[in-house]
Homo-oligomer: A and B are copies of this chain.
Amino acid sequence: MQETFAKRMGKVHRSFIREILKVTADPSIISFAGGLPNPECFPSKAIAEAAQRALTNAPVSALQYAPTEGDPELRAWIAERYDQRMGLKLDPDDILITTGSQQCVDMVAKVFLDQGDTVVLERPAYLGAIQSFSVFEPQFRTIPLLEDGPDLDALEALLDEAPAKLFYAVPNFQNPSGLSYSLEKRRAVAELCLRRGLLFVEDDPYGELRFKGEHLPSVYTFAEGQSILMGSFSKIATPGFRLGWIVARGDVRDALIRVKQASDLHTPSLTQRIMVELLQHFDMDAHIAMIRERYGHQRNVMVEAIREHFPEGVTISEPEGGMFLWVTLPQGCSSMQLMDKAVACKVAFVPGKPFYVDPGEGENTLRLNFSNASEEMIREGVARLGKALQEFLQ
């Protein structure tokens, strides 16, 4: 029946990462390929208690159809947290609950993208967003991601050439690179977007996971009216709830509600009510502090092991938060080819190429995840990868 598919299907591929994850199901392989939070950080007991409260105190709220916008108490908690974290004052009505923050990208694409519209991405970019946008057949343009954020000269030059509909970015501990925007870059990108009328779509699933340096405000705080902000409970609580949110105002908010209704009516009431019960009875600050400390330690162990085992000429990003570290091999080396050798050495990673929309880019890069492995596995896995690299580079 393939001949009757919509044209867009030629551009929508399975996630390369999800395919790799199947290969790495072999338990003898140490995998840095996934993007999973550490399950030892899930507050399982507190969630079980929260589920009991949600299902005994007010079961109908947890089990009946519910408003598309999301649970009012959940939205109020999110608004309050933005105020605490960065002094951002939001009306809870300007926050919509989504089925994971992946759905936010789908909703933004539905509201804004006509076929052929230009979407600006960071280079490299989050693979899941490339997938979601691709369904709506935009034209992708990319700008380099530097140590302190995007290359704004490149963005200006790109906009001088042709208008763009939106700029999608992950300013905190980006997936895949681990890089973050400096405070100056946050201000500068906001100023540019306001001046040029470019919509800034800010995806922030990792913002709370800073284990080094100072917490920085979202670009949204400098570009209100010209930006949309997305968040998620996946990395601070658990991804199994598929609970995310999107912050937008006025017409944009109303348009997002309409497409959300058309997408899945509303996010499950059950997960929302359990999350509300969790947030009311559980010390989230202490919990997030624990995750930060753990991931920071794992990141340090990985960086140390890399310094010990990787050959010269291989460079890495040194993330101040999040779950990923980015490796650059010497020019001309292909991380896709390295993958075979690595799997033979019983270790896995994600080649960087799928994070680039421009053909020929990123061949010599790869992503390592440090959140979902013990200290021992990190040391052993990096040693194996170092061995594979030594052999490969000879």
Q: Which residues of A contact B (CB under 8 A)?
A: 1-2, 4-9, 12-15, 18, 35-37, 39, 42, 44, 47-48, 51-52, 55-56, 59-60, 62-66, 68, 98-100, 102-103, 106, 110-115, 117, 128, 131-132, 134-136, 165, 199, 225-226, 234, 238-242, 250-252, 254-255, 257-259, 261-271, 273-274
Contact = CB atoms under 8 A, between A and B. Distances in A.
Contacts of A268: 99, 240-242, 268, 271
Copies of this chain present in the complex amount to 2
A49 to B, nearest CB: 9
Contact of A102 (B264, B270, B271): B264
A131 B12 CA distance: 23
Question: Which are the 6 A-B pairs with shortest beta-carbon distances?
Answer: A240-B269, A44-B59, A48-B55, A63-B240, A63-B238, A51-B51
Contacts of A7: 114
Nearest to A49: B55
Could you tell me the dominant secondary structure of chain A's interface residues? helix
Contacts of A8: 110, 114
A370 B36 CA distance: 45
Contacts of A262: 12, 102, 106, 128, 131-132, 134-135
Which residue among A6, A51, A62, A240 has the maximum number of chain B CB atoms within 10 Å of its CB?
A240
B258 A12 contact: yes
Contacts of A265: 100, 102, 128, 242
Nearest to A128: B265
A265 to B, nearest CB: 5
Given A131-B262, A241-B270, 16 more contacts: A1-B225, A1-B251, A6-B111, A6-B113, A9-B258, A12-B110, A12-B259, A36-B65, A44-B59, A47-B63, A48-B55, A52-B52, A98-B264, A240-B270, A242-B264, A242-B266
A131 to B, nearest CB: 4
Contacts of A100: 264-265
Contacts of A267: 99, 242
10 contacts: A1-B252, A6-B114, A12-B262, A15-B261, A48-B55, A63-B240, A106-B263, A135-B262, A241-B270, A242-B265
